[in-house]
Structure formats: C-alpha cells, structure tokens
Chains A and B, each alone.
Chain A
Amino acid sequence: MTCKDFIRSLEERHDRNLTEPERSDMDRHSQECASCRNQLAMMEKLGSFIADSKNATPNPFISTRILQRLEAEFAFPDAPKKSPWPLLLKPVALTLALAAGLLIGTLTTRPSSETAQVENQDAAQFDELKKDLFIQEFVDEDKKISLIH
C-alpha cells in the first residue's frame, strides 16, 4: 500500500465499510509510515470532534421559548391572554383591592348621623384596649423579673 492508497482508504472509510484486506493493509502501512500514522491520528481527532458535536444537547425548555417567540411575533387570536400584573405584584394588588373594599364598605354601610357617635365609641374602646395591653406588658415584665430572681 502506498501513502496515496492509504489516504484514499482513509477518506473512503466514511462512505463504505472497508474490506478486511484493505483494513489490514492500512494497519500495516500505518505501522511502517509515520506520516500516514499522523494522518490517521488527525482524522481520529476530527472523528471525536464530530462525535462530541453530535452528542450536544439543547436546552430542554427550548420549545417553550420558541413558541413564546412565535406567539409574540404572530399574536394568535386563540392564545390565552396574559395578565398585565407580574406574578410578584399580584399579592400587593390583592391587598390594596381588599383594603379599598373594606374602606368603601365602612363608609357606605353606616348612616352619616351615627358615624360621629360610633367613632367616639370606637376611640374609647381602643383606649381601654391600649390600657389593657399596657398593664399586661407590665404583668409580663414582672413575671419575667420574678423568674430571673
């Protein structure tokens, strides 16, 4: 086998299965010829580069990304509408809506003549509650102190 034959076989082995005599000729030649041995090593480097490339894997969520892009580009009429509120703002918006609802409810359910009276009662009850809490704090403090001593 000449060097030229070796290189031809090297090229052809991707297109067809080499015969047994061809393979043993190549083996024998590569043992004798450093230059062809190097060619073989280089082609093996290329072969492992191709094998690595074939094993490459895309992002498992790529389909979702592509479809989202297509949705944005072509705006399907049957696509589900997206909420304008980002996910994190949803609880805040909900709390604000609830507070507004309570405020409106409080202002609209009581007749205006009773409002001032009720407000005074509320203030008095709140003062009582504060007193209770204040005393309780002292009681708790005393308990702690007695426990320490």
Chain B
Amino acid sequence: MTEAELIAGIKERQRPAFQILVDRYRDQVIKTAFYFLGDMADAEDLSQEIFIEIIQSIHDFRQTSTLKTWIYRITVNKALNMVKQRKRRGIFFRIGSLFHGDNPLNTQDFAEPVIQTDAVEKQETRTMIQKAIDKLPENQRIAFVLSRFDDQPYKEIAGIMNISLPAVESLIFRARQNLQKQLAKSFPEYKSNL
C-alpha cells in the first residue's frame, strides 16, 4: 500500500488501513514518545492517543511533508504536552521501566548486595540525566532528542520542527553546551573549569 493509498484508507476509516498505519509507525511513535517521557508504560499509553489524533486530523494533513514527518510532529507535541501535564501535577520528571515488565529498582531479584547498589546507582544516574535533558529549553530538547536518541538527520529535524537547517545546528550545539553545564551541576565529581 502506497502512502497516498494509506492516507485515503485512513480518511475512509477503513480497518485494514488502520492496521497498516499502526504496523508501519508503531515503533517510531512509541520510541520517540519514550525518549521524551523516559517511561515505557507512559509511552505505550500515549501512543494510543497519538494514533487517535493521527486519524482524527488526517483531513488537515496537507501532504506538504511526508506522513512520517507529520506523525513525528504529532508525537513530539503530544509527548511534550504530557511532560507539561506531569510538571503541573508536580511530577517534575519520571524514570520508569526501560523494558516492558522491567523494574530496575526491584532489588529482590538480585542475590548480591553489590549488584543491588549498582542497580540503584545506575537508576540514580539515569534519573539525573533525564532531569538534565528535561531542563533544556523546549526547542533545544526537541532537536537534541530527535538527533541523538532518534538518530534523525538534521534535514529531517528541520522538516519536523519547521525551521531552517542552520537553526537546527544551532539548537543542537546550544543543547549540548547546556547539557554539559547541567550535568556538571548534577555530578559534582565531574565538575570542570568551564
């Protein structure tokens, strides 16, 4: 099924088109949501809302970009909204399971106390890094996450964010600088003379 056929099928609310839509874009949607949220269960829940949004607003899709780019835009917006909602509810950041059914802090699973400490330390490090990323200004965060986590080329990021290529480069450069400063605060043992 071509992209045009898929879009037509979604517009006509055909079940096979929905199935193909989910099969083709499920991983992209869930992974990107996860990179912003840091919690797989939340990303999976949000993915359902994202697919509903895609179907509901398919008539607004002008096809000036690819379907993939447009779906990225919806995913990023939805994920950032969820992060904002969490902040409003007082959950500044959240680190949950990396894998489905995995709980890194479930120390009962570990026989050796040394490994327990390692798991807790690793979790603390993850929390600190996620917190530092969450503190980046929104545009810097989007560009950085799409580039470093999602491996999207700068050109694609420019399309998703609807900005120029030099603007993407600048955002990522500033994101890296801010992140280094932020991490230096979070890990005083690594404090440099910057």
Check A42 against B148 for contact (C-beta < 8 Å): no
Interface residues of A in 50-87 (CB under 8 A from B): 50, 52-60, 62-63, 65-67, 69-71, 73-74, 76, 78-79
Q: A49-B130, A69-B48 are in contact. List 20 more A-B contacts (CB 8 A).
A: A3-B194, A7-B180, A14-B148, A35-B194, A39-B180, A39-B184, A42-B183, A56-B34, A56-B40, A57-B99, A58-B34, A58-B43, A58-B100, A62-B30, A63-B26, A65-B44, A69-B51, A70-B18, A70-B51, A74-B55
Cross-interface CB contact of B44 among A46, A55, A62, A79, cutoff 8 Å: A62
Q: What is the minimal beta-carbon distance from B61 to any residue of chain A, in angstroms?
A: 17
Check B193 against A35 for contact (C-beta < 8 Å): yes
Residues of chain A whose beta carbon lies under 8 Å from any beta carbon of chain B: 3, 7, 11, 14, 35-36, 38-39, 41-43, 45-46, 49-50, 52-60, 62-63, 65-67, 69-71, 73-74, 76, 78-79
Check B47 against A46 for contact (C-beta < 8 Å): no
Closest 6 CB pairs of A and B: A38-B190, A35-B192, A42-B190, A59-B100, A69-B48, A49-B129
Q: What is the minimal beta-carbon distance from A5 to any residue of chain B, in angstroms?
A: 13
Task: Check A63/B23 contact, CB under 8 A, given A43-B180, A45-B187, A73-B52.
Answer: yes
Check A58 against B44 for contact (C-beta < 8 Å): yes
Residues of chain B whose beta carbon lies under 8 Å from any beta carbon of chain A: 13-15, 18-19, 22-23, 26-27, 30-31, 34-35, 38, 40, 43-44, 47-48, 51-52, 55, 98-100, 125-126, 129-130, 147-149, 173, 176-177, 179-180, 183-184, 187, 189-194
Check B47 against A62 for contact (C-beta < 8 Å): yes
Most B CB contacts (10 A, CB to CB) among A11, A58, A62 go to A58
Main secondary structure on A side of the interface with B: helix
Instruction: List 18 contacting pairs A-B, 8 Å CB cutoff, sorted by A.
Output: A11-B173, A38-B190, A38-B192, A45-B125, A45-B129, A45-B183, A46-B183, A50-B148, A53-B38, A58-B31, A58-B44, A58-B100, A66-B51, A70-B51, A70-B55, A71-B15, A74-B55, A78-B15
Q: How long is the Cα–Cα vector from A46 to B55 in the complex, in angstroms?
A: 36
Task: Check A76/B40 contact, CB under 8 A, given A36-B192, A56-B31, A66-B51.
Answer: no
Chain B residues with CB below 8 A from A41, complex form: 190
Chain A residues with CB below 8 A from B129, complex form: 45-46, 49
Chain B residues with CB below 8 A from A69, complex form: 48, 51-52
Chain B residues with CB below 8 A from A7, complex form: 180, 194
Check A66 against B100 for contact (C-beta < 8 Å): no
Q: How long is the Cα–Cα vector from A79 to B47 in the complex, in angstroms?
A: 22
Check A52 against B192 for contact (C-beta < 8 Å): no
Q: How long is the Cα–Cα vector from A107 to B100 in the complex, in angstroms?
A: 58
Check B48 against A66 for contact (C-beta < 8 Å): yes
Q: What is the minimal beta-carbon distance from B186 to any residue of chain A, in angstroms?
A: 9
Q: How long is the Cα–Cα vector from A11 to B81 in the complex, in angstroms?
A: 29
